[in-house]
């Protein structure tokens, strides 16, 4: 019989696998190498004609071939969004050296997040309908457009029959999915989970929606310097695409199979600004509350945090508000705790961004190096923290706070801690 939440002492949860698909590299090793190279991959959009828009740049994934992860027939049945979800999960399971066949399927959860789901594929089919009629529409569009296609396709691919969900909480979706998976394992409902975020937004409708409201950078003539979190000259985010799935396991079971452990998930906090659909609450109070919940939920105090992986979207309002919220949580230590924002390496991949950042934080904990905030040359007004720049920072990091914030005022934060090498498998 499966245990129910609240019937026993909370269990420890660890990360044993990371499966990223990003513009800086797909696989954990390639992404880490991309971070070390300290170069932004942002380019002029090639997926479609972006000339009608003020913004014409993006972080495109260049090294992805679905047939490296599934047979040709299955690849043709899935749109890019679902391809990313299955492929990133396979990367994560391989990285964890975890054979899906060795997992009790009913104790395996699938928790995903995406802001837009299969919207890009739906748009393609709308063009088919308008141009050639209803017979030209892919009959599978109904099963690809909804966000839940991600977690359902993963469950089908790997046979996981446990709790299954895909949330659609904007740019906080990936972080929320990991937090939800953490709770399922902590509370004894699941033993293992694959969790993270997926986004395939590079199509005229989804891309144009953000261009129209001028949320994205217009630095079209200098794309590699367009995403510049916390910088005085930031003028909006740069859209990216991709995915990142993590393998989370109950600690004792991970140790029993000799798994390599990247990090322990300690706490999760989520709040809402209840203020505005696109602008953050000016005082950052609810963003700070989410951070405090994540810290306290991990049995820690703000003094225990020694690194922050920030949301750092490179937008005028969000970066200064996040800086204010971080300072309110860390107090005087905010002048010393290193903060980094890594979106220049893969763009703002919307619902996938938070999961990518949690994956990077896990690698930082294991490898002892904090990636730089690219293109941060002169901090803007209100951006007054100890930002990591240049070539990054060698540091023995023990505890990381990861922040993700999204449209609608959603704030999601996670705390992660290192695991001593002799205990890590």
Q: Residues near 132 by Cβ (< 8 Å), separated by ≥ 6?
A: none
In contact, 400 and 307? CB cutoff 8 Å: yes
Query: Do the first three CATH levels of 13-256 and 264-418 match, i.e. the same topology?
Result: yes
Length of the chain: 425
- Residue that the structure tokens 């469950």 belong to: 155
pLDDT at 396: 93
Token pair for 222: 């200098």
Indicate the SS3 state at residue 263. Answer: strand
Task: Specify the range with the lowest mean pLDDT, choosing from 17-21, 134-138, 372-376.
Answer: 134-138
145 has a pLDDT exceeding 70:
yes
290-295 average pLDDT score: 98
pLDDT, average across residues 334-346: 98
Q: Which two tokens stand for residue 243?
A: 């995915």
Rounded (5°) CA angle 10-296-337: 130
As a whole number, mean pLDDT of residues 139-167 equals: 93
**Angle at CA 83, nearest 5°, toward 312 and 229?**
10
Residue 6 pLDDT > 70, yes or no?
A: no
| pLDDT bracket for residue 5 (50, 70, 90) | very low
Q: What pLDDT sits at residue 423?
A: 55
Determine the 3-state secondary structure of 420 from DSSP: coil
Neighbours of 138 (CB within 10 A): 15
Task: Give residue 231's pLDDT.
Answer: 98
Query: Per-residue confidence at 129, pLDDT binned at 50, 70, 90?
Result: confident
pLDDT number for residue 124: 84
pLDDT at 310: 98
**Exposed/middle/buried for residue 53 (C-beta within 10 Å: 0-12, 13-18, 19+):** middle
**Closest alpha carbon to 292 in 249, 326, 248, 342:** 326
Asked if residue 162 lies in contact with residue 190, where contact means CB atoms within 8 angstroms, the answer is yes
pLDDT tens per residue, range 38-59: 999 999 999 999 999 999 999 9
Q: Report the topology of domain 264-418.
A: Peroxisomal Thiolase; Chain A, domain 1 (3.40.47)
CATH number belonging to domain 13-256: 3.40.47.10
Rounded to the nearest integer, the mean pLDDT of the chain is 95
Q: Which of 98, 100, 358 is nearest to 254 (CA)?
A: 98
pLDDT band at 3 (very low <50, low <70, confident <90, very high): very low
Query: Alpha helix locations (H) across 78-237?
Result: 80-95, 119-132, 141-144, 149-158, 173-186, 204-212
Q: What are phi and psi of 26, to 5 degrees?
A: -115, 125
Q: Would you place residue 143 in the very low, low, confident or very high pLDDT band (cuts 50, 70, 90)?
A: confident
pLDDT > 90? residue 171:
yes
Among 116-125, 310-319, 368-377, 399-408, which is the least confidently predicted range? 116-125
Residue 28 has pLDDT above 50, yes or no: yes
59-82 pLDDT per residue, tens: 999 989 999 999 999 999 999 999
Report the pLDDT averaged over residues 125-139: 85
Outline where DSSP puts E strands in 134-292: 164-167, 192-199, 242-250, 263-272
Residues with catalytic annotation? Answer: 171, 311, 348
Residue 220 clears pLDDT 80, i.e. is over it: yes
Gap between the Cα atoms of 280 and 314, Å rounded: 14
Q: Dihedral sign, CA of 246, 311, 145, 273?
A: positive
pLDDT of 314 above 60 = yes
The pLDDT of 211-235, averaged and rounded, is 97
CB atoms under 10 Å from CB of 379, counted, come to 19
Phi, psi of 370 (to 5 degrees): -100, 120
The residue whose two tokens read 């109070």 is 285
pLDDT of 120 > 60? The answer is yes
**What share of the chain in percent tops pLDDT 70?**
97
* Domain locations in the chain as residue ranges: 13-256, 264-418
């Amino acid at each position: 019989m499966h245990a129910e939440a609240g019937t026993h002492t909370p269990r420890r949860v660890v990360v044993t696998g990371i499966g990223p698909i990003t513009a800086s590299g797909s696989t954990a090793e390639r992404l880490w190498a991309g971070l070390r190279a300290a170069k932004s991959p942002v380019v002029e959009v090639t997926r479609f004609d972006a000339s009608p828009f003020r913004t014409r740049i993006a972080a495109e994934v260049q090294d992805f071939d679905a047939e490296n992860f599934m047979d040709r027939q299955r690849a043709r049945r899935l749109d890019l969004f679902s391809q990313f979800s299955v492929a990133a999960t396979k990367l994560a399971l391989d990285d964890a050296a975890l054979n899906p066949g060795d997992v009790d399927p009913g104790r395996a959860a699938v928790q995903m997040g995406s802001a837009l789901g299969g919207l890009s594929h739906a748009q393609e089919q709308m063009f088919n309908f308008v141009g050639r009629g209803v017979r030209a529409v892919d009959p599978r569009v109904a099963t690809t457009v909804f966000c839940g296609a991600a977690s359902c396709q993963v469950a089908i691919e790997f046979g996981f029959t446990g709790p299954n969900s895909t949330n659609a909480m904007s740019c906080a979706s990936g972080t929320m999915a990991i937090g939800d998976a953490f709770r399922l394992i902590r509370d004894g409902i699941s033993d293992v989970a694959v969790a993270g975020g997926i986004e395939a937004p590079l199509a005229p409708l989804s891309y144009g929606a953000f261009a129209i409201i001028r949320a994205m950078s217009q630095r079209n003539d200098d794309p590699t310097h367009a995403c510049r979190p916390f910088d005085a000259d930031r003028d909006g985010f740069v859209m990216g695409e991709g995915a990142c799935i993590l393998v989370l396991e109950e600690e004792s079971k991970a140790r029993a199979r000799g798994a390599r452990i990247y990090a322990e998930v300690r706490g999760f906090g989520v709040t809402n600004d209840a203020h505005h659909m696109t602008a953050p609450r000016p005082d950052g109070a609810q963003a700070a509350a989410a951070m405090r919940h994540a810290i306290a939920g991990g049995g820690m105090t703000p003094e225990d945090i020694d690194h922050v992986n920030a949301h750092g979207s490179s937008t005028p309002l969000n970066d200064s508000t996040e800086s204010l919220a971080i300072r309110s949580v860390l107090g005087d230590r905010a002048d010393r705790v290193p903060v980094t924002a890594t979106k220049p390496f893969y763009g703002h991949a919307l619902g996938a961004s938070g999961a990518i950042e949690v994956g990077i934080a896990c690698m930082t904990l294991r490898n002892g190096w904090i990636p730089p905030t690219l293109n941060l040359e002169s901090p803007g007004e209100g951006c007054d923290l100890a930002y990591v720049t240049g070539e990054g920072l060698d540091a023995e990091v023990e505890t990381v706070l990861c922040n993700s914030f999204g449209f609608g005022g959603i704030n999601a934060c996670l705390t992660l801690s290192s695991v001593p090498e002799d205990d890590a498998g």
